[in-house]
Amino acid sequence: MKEKVNMKSSHEETQSRYKVVKQRSVKRLFYLIVPIISLLGFTGGVVAYYGHQSEINERVLALKDSSEALALEGHYEQALVEIEEGLKLRPTFEVLSQNQAAIEQASTYASTIKEVSGLLSEQKFQSAEEKLTNVRKLVQEEEGPLFIPLQKKINEIEESIKVGEIKKELDQLNNVDILSEKLTIVSAFTSDDAKSVQEQISNKIVQLTSNQSESLLKENKFSEALAVIEEGLHYIKEDEKLISLKERIKSEKVAFEKAEQERIEKAMEAAAKEDLQNRTAAVEVVNFEASVNEWGDLYINGDVTNVATTGIYSIIISYKIFNLEGTELTKGSTTVYPHHLNTGETGAFEDIHYGIYEDVTVEIDNITWYLD
């Protein structure tokens, strides 16, 4: 009986020991698993945190890049909205704060430039230029790509102001030299308005040049007319209208010179004839009588007219006296009075020969005179 009891006690003891060992193993496993689980949980949390932060960073950087692109395109308000969104996510992101300040400043400049454009559209060029000068100084002091488009816009408006001023005064400009100066200015610009004004100036130069040369041409001042055309072609090269007018002036110059030469030749010929007339046939005898009275005296008298183109004086009538058989009996001369005869005037002459005592014939042999 005692051995049986002992065997039973031994078995229970073994079971008890097994339970103790098992409990100890479970506790050891528990103590081992809990830290691992905790470690895994912590690691997961860290990973999740940094993942979230990384997403925020990516979003902030995307907002930064987007706002910069918008600002460069001039969409300042939208750019500032995205920067503010980025600053909410990363309030200490210094780059965003710097960009925000720069964009706000650029927005202010852009508003001023817009005001200048308004003044320009109202043709208030002086006010626009003054305001533009001020904002240009401010923009030039800024650094960074954000202000480059503003500087470009300022240059464009400055060009528009100069073009607008020239266009406004164009109607009052009627001097080719002054117009050429304006043409030089606008030729340096590339805008459509500049090209339009350049065309207007060119047309006006051509018009003024044509009118002036036409006026000189009417007065047969060919050299002066050609000089005017050459000046116009200096400014408006290869202009078809001016080239055509130049050829016309040359042609009319040749025709005029030819006609003038013919006229001169004819004038010289006429002058020669006139001179010959004046020297050889300036005096026309319009009346001539010769008679012998009962006392045998021969009385000669007559009238002559100055048919020359100039005045004549000291007119002497020379004559010969023939008998009825044609034998020369004597000759003589007499002076016309008055002493001087203008063109178309008539003078008289007379003379007496005593002791002829027969019928005779008297012929005027020669007439002499002096020209004025």
pLDDT > 70: percent of the chain:
86
Q: Is residue 189 part of a domain?
A: yes
Give the domain-ending residue among 280, 310, 337. 280
Whole domain around residue 181: which residue ranges? Answer: 173-280
- Cα–Cα distance between 62 and 17 in angstroms, integer? 67
Residue with tokens 């039973």: 8
Q: Is residue 16 part of a domain?
A: no
Task: For residues 211 and 295, state if they share a domain.
Answer: no
Give the domain-ending residue among 246, 280, 314. 280
Structure tokens at 266: 């004819």
User: Which segment, 51-65, 90-104, 340-354, is predicted with the most confidence on average?
Assistant: 340-354
Task: For residues 55 and 147, state if they share a domain.
Answer: yes
Nearest CA to 163 out of 140, 194, 136, 202 is that of: 194
Neighbours of 332 (CB within 10 A): 16
Task: For residues 141 and 213, state if they share a domain.
Answer: no
Structure tokens at 135: 């904002």
pLDDT at 31: 59
Structure tokens at 197: 């004004």
pLDDT at 17: 56
Judged against a pLDDT cut of 80, whether residue 12 lies above it is answered with: no
Give the domain-ending residue among 280, 308, 335. 280
pLDDT at 29: 56
